[in-house]
Amino acid sequence: MKSFFAPNESQTKILINLARSILFAFVGIALASCAVGPNYERPAVETPEAFKEGQGEWVRAMPADTLERGPWWTLFNDPELDALAAQVEVSNQNVAAAVAAYAQARALVAQQRASLFPTVTLDAGANRSGGRGNTQPTRSSYQVSIGASWEPDVWGRLARGVEGAQAGAQASLADLQAATLSAQGELASDYFNLRQNDVQYALLMQTIQGYQRSLTIASNRYQAGIAPRTDVLQAQTQLANAQADQLGVERQRAVLEHAIAVLVGKAPASFGLPARPTWQAVVPDIPFGVPSTLLQRRPDIAGAERRAAQANEQIGIAQAAFYPSLSLTGSAGSAAAAVGDLFKSSSLVWSLGASLAQTIFDAGATRARVEGARAGLEQASARYRQTVLSAFQDVEDQLIASRILQSQLVLREQAEEAANLVEQQVLNRYQAGQVSYTDVVTAQVTALNARRAVVQARSDREVAAVALIQALGGGWRGL
């Protein structure tokens, strides 16, 4: 049985000739097309060979925009931090939103690319009509047609749109990388601060125990009549202040724990980190030379540069409006009273068409759009340059912070050692009745401040190392 959707030989030849004519017209117009608008050039930025606060001999790295940064947090050698940071890409909602934005940008690229190709449509219909009695007999009619339309990209407007969408997708990818790096950096900083609070809490606990012993000594000496009551009051005041400080540290730790929970995509009520009172991080060594070209790995710089490229394509799109637009159409179809007659050559009808449209007068609107697009490129270029300058500042700040904090830590540790010795000696002299309790209080406060300063200095070094890694776009591996 012959299928009534299969065309006969005569109809096939007609369709082949029609398709060939349309194809030749499309190819001829495509070959004659040319893109209008400026070619993109990356905005020029003065890039120093080395950073002001750097160390050692400087080397120039190769561009590394797409270099895999890897799990930079493993430089700190903390398995618990490794596990938390790995959850950011999976569960953090800001990162999830950036992932969705990137997917949306990629879909826009596909949508723009589809405009370069013809649109083909297939229409089919059937109709049956009649009236009461025999005055209007029942009739049936059928129709089927296939059509195509295409707007040749003579002036490159559509191609510019595709390139602009691709640049936008690349900018969205950079935004995703920036959001991920920001969330991971914030997590690491909060984690180190939380652990610093653990150490501070344990330090205050030991201090409170020492103050309680001092209070006992002062009370015994007062009851023995060899010390005034002010010694007891001073000891009580010092103990109460230390206990209040401990509660403040406890509150700060809870706040940091809540922040970490949100960063890994969990509710604070269902998240917890056990205390580690003896914790101490491994701060990675900064490379001897950190070239300024490492900034090319920063996702915010990459995103700003891609947006400048996207703005450049808008100029060509706006300029294409000065030229006429061309549309080609073609169709083939048939209509008959019976389905079997639809595909007879005698019922086949085809058509080819072309239309040309040109704006004659728009009161300068097109020129204004072009000028607006040029201004948009200038704006995007300025933002790109500012992003680069801010990145240089970030790295300089963190390089000097890392160097100074390392030196400060050594001095803080020396001060702690000396203050501990003074505290013990003054307490021994007080028990021997050689000094007043005021001297004990002064020595103990000095010693506590020195111990807490050491803990804070270590935490500052860890946070500064995280900030430097972020400033360099995710570390210095792969060089």
Tell me the C-alpha to C-alpha distance, in Å, between residue 417 and each of 202, 404, 407, 435: 18, 20, 16, 22
In the predicted structure, residue 403 carries a pLDDT above the cut 80? yes
Query: Please, what is the average pLDDT of the chain?
Result: 82
The SS3 assignment for 199 reads helix
* DSSP secondary structure code for residue 154 in this structure: T
φ, ψ of residue 124 to 5 degrees: the values are -145, 150
Cα separation of 440 and 422, whole Å? 9
pLDDT, position 195: 94
Q: What is the pLDDT, as a whole number, of residue 54?
A: 62
**CA pair distance 43, 41, nearest whole angstrom:** 6
Determine the longest span between alpha carbons in the chain, in angstroms: 133
Q: In the chain, where does the domain assigned CATH 1.20.1600.10 lie?
A: 34-126+151-323+376-471
pLDDT for 2: 38
C-alpha to C-alpha distance for 88 and 264, rounded to whole angstroms:
5
pLDDT tens, position by position, 1-38: 333 344 455 555 555 555 555 545 554 544 445 667 78
Does residue 245 register a pLDDT over 80?
Answer: yes
Residue-level pLDDT at 194 = 96
pTM of this structure: 0.79
Please write the tens of the pLDDT for every residue from 363-383. Answer: 888 899 999 999 999 999 999
pLDDT at 306: 92
Round to whole Å and give the CA distance between 196 and 308.
42
DSSP 225: T
pLDDT digits (tens, 9 = 90+) for 66-119: 445 678 888 889 999 999 999 998 888 888 888 888 888 888 888 888 888 888
Q: pLDDT tens for residues 105-143?
A: 888 888 888 888 888 888 888 887 766 666 667 777 878
Mean per-residue pLDDT for 442-454? 92
Residues 6+ apart with CB under 8 A from 377: 308, 311, 312, 314, 315
- Asked whether the beta carbons of 301 and 43 are under 8 A apart, the reply is no
- In the structure, what pLDDT confidence band is assigned to residue 345 with cuts at 50, 70 and 90? low
| Cα gap 458→246, rounded to integer Å | 19
> With 80 as the cut, is the pLDDT of residue 42 above it?
yes
CATH of 34-126+151-323+376-471, one of 1.10.287.1770, 3.40.50.620, 1.20.1600.10, 2.30.33.40: 1.20.1600.10
Q: Is the pLDDT of residue 165 over 80?
A: yes
Highest mean pLDDT among 127-136, 315-324, 343-352: 315-324
pLDDT of 253-269, one tens digit each?
Answer: 999 999 999 999 999 99
pLDDT of residue 32: 47
Angle at the Cα of 328 from the Cα atoms of 322 and 332, rounded to 5 degrees? 165
| pLDDT at 262 (0 to 100) | 94
Please state the φ and ψ torsions of residue 403, each to the nearest 5 degrees: -70, -45
Residue 386 pLDDT: 93
